[in-house]
A and B are shown apart, each in its own frame.
Chain A
Amino acid sequence: MNLLKTLAVGAALATGVAGAAVAQDKTKVGFIYVGPIGDGGWTYEHNKARLAVEEHYGDAVETVYQESVPEGADAERAITQMALSGADLIFTTSFGFMDATVAVAEKFPDVKFEHATGYKTADNLAVYSARFYEGRAVQGTIAGHLTESNIVGYIASYPIPEVIRGINSAYIHAKKVNPDIQFKIIWAYTWFDPAKEADAAKALIEQGADVILQHTDSTAPQAAAAEAGNVYTFGQASDMIEYAPMPRVSSIIDDWAPYYIERVGAVIDGTWETADTWDGIGPGMVGIGEISDAVPADVKAEALALKDAIASGEYHPFTGPLNKQDGSVWLAEGETADDGTLLGMDFYVEGIEGEIPN
């Protein structure tokens, strides 16, 4: 059985290598997207970075992509086909592709893989993610100042550490500038579903929220807020500038281009090595979109000062004293959170109402 398996994998590899040999002069880079490239958010930004790679390396690089790949049984096949087509480097850009990427990486040891927002690495599999929570701190500060109803609505996607970190970071900083703040959280269980996202936004507005934060990728909540009027929103993953100055008052932008250009360059030079990258505002992986004129000048100045403090490393968004939701002490005065805790974050900080679904 094992011998047969080895033979079969060998045969698969031989085909893969033959495929690669044809396009030896060009480095082929593949991208697996969870949404459509026109989602205006998460996938849109990854695709923008793909185009930046093409522009930067010109004829030395060829890129391919597959969009709207479901995070289930189909993912492994999509990644395998991409590897078979002769890709030298494959970026799988959603958490749900983790195990599929690991499985394909085992079968194609000569192809390099990069998985976004996961934690499983191998010799030919690197992981990368952005410290979005740094942007959430800036967002929370603005939201805390802007709200008049003291109710901030939050459209969350899935109860995973990345999303929970964002909620906590936004809450902590909104609370700092507005002690009466209250967060209402709706779990949409989707990254991209304009209809569901719009419904969630409307439900939150009906419950009195006048600021909507979203951890989903479409612009539907922006449109819902624009329709309701007097509701503030923030662009997510992408700038969503078409909704500025109102309702969109700022945004968190994922800028993957510098990272992708660097990693593709490493493959071209033959210096690529597996890595675990987690960058924030400082290195430019997380950007804060233009803060619009709907935000008072002093609030804008405060938000930008916070952004600079985070970028320089002078301030960490999770700095004690902080308690967990149940009242137990998490971080003592002046203590900052370690990355391990942040990466596995499965609790709310004190003051957030409701429970993380499980």
Chain B
Amino acid sequence: MRFALEKRPAPSRLMLGLTPLFAVIATMLAGGVMFWALGANPVEAIRTIFLDPLFDPTFGAYSRPQLLVKAAPLILIAIGLSLGFKAGIWNIGAEGQYIIGAVVGAAVGLAFYPTESRLIFPAMVIAGALGGWAWAMIPAILKTRLGTNEILVSLMLVYVAENILASVASGVLKNPEGRGFPGSRNFARDYPAASNLELLPGTGMHWGVVAAFIAVIAAYVLMTRHKMGFSIRLTGEAPRAARFAGVNPTRLVVFSLGMAGALAGMAGLFEVTGPAGQISIDFGSGYGFTAIIVAFLGRLHPVGILLAGLLMALTYIGGELAQLMLGMPAAAIQLFQGMLLFFLLAMDVFANYRIRIKTREAA
């Protein structure tokens, strides 16, 4: 008897739905072994990561809304990225667009300090989106005009953005009352008109969470109901057919990079005015890269991305609790998250192939 993999004519829909579940189970098993090897009770460790953020009597009330807060920027960025990824346009530089969006939006807000007006925060959101959009236009224009590779250009621009961030945090945007330390004024503490306020008191939930949900719905409508969504899907699945169908590749590149940049820029603005509170040298915390994982984990589908973002947030917050309550090292938690992604990708084999058990016949 032997096993053979046989390619399916089309990916199995059932398996596409089931494999994430298999991956979570496989992660729990492999992770459990790792936690056991580290001297922890594996059942307790897994429970702490997956269930305590939701149900623990001490942490649950605080952690549940925090899941949305942590997931919101990931979802917002991943939605934007998924549009391009579906069409085979690889924007790897969302982190840079996120940072520049935050810097530009924050700069607009700080320029009005200390004016109090209801219009300041919306203006900052628009500025943040424009900042991210403009940063994404650099690889878009270079690609459409000069044929450069958007993967390299967008990635390299992340490092440029990080240096701009460090420069403004210790220069033009530095808090004049900050005793010489780098970092801007704290929006939440020093400038309420420009801060991303809690929408429900005590939850920490802010406008970014609302924006993430709107983005999910809008992306769903775009992909299923709009001509642009059709062009994107067609280009990704059959580039030659798309050309014949009259899809303009330049427009597509500009649109998908621009949307990704604008959404990442908005995410940056919501973070800098909300959970982070200020422009600081360390503001960029890798959300732009994590969002790439979220996009693929969600299979580039808006609803999938929503769920993937929440799952990632759960492993982050649950991982923090496991560190805190069980004394797990931070590296073990990162390893655990890595396992989850590894198994998710590995399980894809079951969606694309079927397993045949062949019995050898006697000659």
Chain A interfacial positions (CB closer than 8 Å to B): 1, 4-5, 7-9, 11-12, 15, 18-19, 30, 36-37, 64-68, 70-74, 76-78, 80-82, 84-86, 95-96, 99-100, 102-103, 119, 158-161, 189, 343-346, 357-358
The 8 A CB mask of B60-89 against A (1 = contact, 0 = none) is 011100100010000000000000000000
Say yes or no for B58: interface residue by CB 8 A criterion.
yes
| Contact B182 A159, beta carbon cutoff 8 Å | yes
* Given A72-B283, A159-B170: A12 touches B277 (CB 8 Å cut-off): no
Bound: A104/B56 CA distance, A: 20
Residue of B nearest to A8 (CB): B202
Chain B residue numbers with a CB within 8 Å of A119 are 179
The contact of A64 among B62, B70, B203, B327, by CB within 8 Å, is B327
B301 smallest CB distance to A (angstroms):
27
A187 smallest CB distance to B (angstroms):
8
B316 smallest CB distance to A (angstroms):
8
The contact of A81 among B70, B282, B320, by CB within 8 Å, is B320
Given contacts A8-B202, A159-B170, 15 further A-B contacts (CB under 8 A): A7-B202, A8-B203, A9-B202, A11-B61, A15-B57, A15-B58, A19-B58, A74-B316, A77-B320, A81-B59, A81-B321, A95-B181, A119-B179, A158-B182, A344-B180
B187 smallest CB distance to A (angstroms):
10
Chain A residue numbers with a CB within 8 Å of B58 are 15, 18-19, 84-86
Say yes or no for B174: interface residue by CB 8 A criterion.
yes
Say yes or no for B201: interface residue by CB 8 A criterion.
yes
Chain A residue numbers with a CB within 8 Å of B167 are 357-358
Chain B residue numbers with a CB within 8 Å of A11 are 61, 202
The contact of A78 among B188, B278, B320, by CB within 8 Å, is B320
* Given A11-B61, A36-B329, A73-B271: A66 touches B182 (CB 8 Å cut-off): no
Residue of B nearest to A100 (CB): B277
> Can you report 20 A-B residue pairs in the complex whose CB atoms are below 8 A from each other?
A1-B201, A30-B324, A65-B327, A68-B330, A71-B280, A72-B280, A72-B282, A74-B320, A77-B320, A78-B324, A81-B63, A82-B324, A84-B58, A85-B58, A85-B324, A158-B170, A161-B180, A161-B181, A346-B180, A357-B167
* Given A36-B331, A64-B324, A64-B327: A189 touches B166 (CB 8 Å cut-off): yes
Say yes or no for B281: interface residue by CB 8 A criterion.
yes
A47 smallest CB distance to B (angstroms):
11
Bound: A73/B166 CA distance, A: 17
| Contact B330 A36, beta carbon cutoff 8 Å | yes
| Contact B170 A358, beta carbon cutoff 8 Å | yes
Say yes or no for B317: interface residue by CB 8 A criterion.
yes
The contact of A160 among B180, B283, B324, B325, by CB within 8 Å, is B180
Chain A residue numbers with a CB within 8 Å of B327 are 64-65
Residue of B nearest to A118 (CB): B181
Bound: A346/B171 CA distance, A: 12
Chain A residue numbers with a CB within 8 Å of B186 are 99
| Contact B182 A15, beta carbon cutoff 8 Å | no
The contact of B276 among A36, A73, A159, by CB within 8 Å, is A73
Chain B residue numbers with a CB within 8 Å of A12 are 61-62, 202
Chain A residue numbers with a CB within 8 Å of B229 are none
A174 smallest CB distance to B (angstroms):
23
Bound: A70/B290 CA distance, A: 15
Say yes or no for B359: interface residue by CB 8 A criterion.
no
The 10 closest A-B pairs by CB, nearest first: A8-B202, A73-B275, A346-B180, A358-B171, A5-B201, A68-B330, A73-B276, A344-B180, A344-B179, A4-B201
Identify the interface centre among B62, B180, B277, B280: most chain A CB within 10 Å of its CB: B180
Chain A residue numbers with a CB within 8 Å of B358 are none
Chain A residue numbers with a CB within 8 Å of B174 are 358
Bound: A178/B232 CA distance, A: 67
| Contact A160 B61, beta carbon cutoff 8 Å | no
| Contact B285 A70, beta carbon cutoff 8 Å | yes
The 8 A CB mask of B269-297 against A (1 = contact, 0 = none) is 00100111110111101000000000000
| Contact B324 A99, beta carbon cutoff 8 Å | no
| Contact B62 A81, beta carbon cutoff 8 Å | yes
The contact of A158 among B171, B281, B285, B323, by CB within 8 Å, is B281
Residue of B nearest to A94 (CB): B282
* Given A15-B57, A36-B331: A96 touches B282 (CB 8 Å cut-off): yes
| Contact B62 A70, beta carbon cutoff 8 Å | no
| Contact B278 A99, beta carbon cutoff 8 Å | yes
The 8 A CB mask of B131-166 against A (1 = contact, 0 = none) is 000000000000000000000000000000000001
The 8 A CB mask of B168-192 against A (1 = contact, 0 = none) is 0011001000011110001011000
Chain B residue numbers with a CB within 8 Å of A15 are 57-58, 61-62
| Contact B282 A70, beta carbon cutoff 8 Å | yes
The contact of A67 among B57, B278, B317, B323, by CB within 8 Å, is B323
Residue of B nearest to A30 (CB): B324
Identify the interface centre among B174, B186, B277, B282: most chain A CB within 10 Å of its CB: B282
B201 smallest CB distance to A (angstroms):
4
Bound: A9/B61 CA distance, A: 11
Bound: A4/B202 CA distance, A: 9
A83 smallest CB distance to B (angstroms):
10
Chain B residue numbers with a CB within 8 Å of A84 are 58-59, 62
